[in-house]
Structure 1
């Protein structure tokens, strides 16, 4: 079981993740890609990173907008796995 982040840790993590917002027990970010094929290619790159981390985001694709939602469901909230994957997604930005 991973350590659930407390309020202070979540706020500190969000300060380092300016493109992400908190929605309850999740972090979320929408990325605006140039077009639909670029959105799909971005999702594939994120999928590779997520698979390597064994931590998978919820992904919603709407034309060229991709929304990622991160939460450690098995632990019932936000953990370091979520913030680490958020940073990795930011590093992959199209």
Structure 2
């Protein structure tokens, strides 16, 4: 882990300094939300890999451009997974990094 941010602004600043291989982004943060932070990170680095972890029921929200999950996906997040679904998180990480993650 490179670092932990409490706000969207802190997340963008940390990304700018550290350029991690993967960003795990929460959506509900004080100030700038995760969807907006995702947009800015993708402007800074179009190759940024951002995976949204959220408590929101993601499957029905992904295709809704007005939902915060839909905005994050539209802004460049790779995907969104429920942070309470350990199996879902591990499966998606394995799909994103097949050569770098052993489960």
Same structural fold, with TM-score higher than 0.5 when normalized by the shorter chain? no
TM-score, normalisation: structure 1: 0.27
TM-score, normalisation: structure 2: 0.25
Bigger relative contact order (CA 8 A; separation at least 6): 1
More strand by share: 1
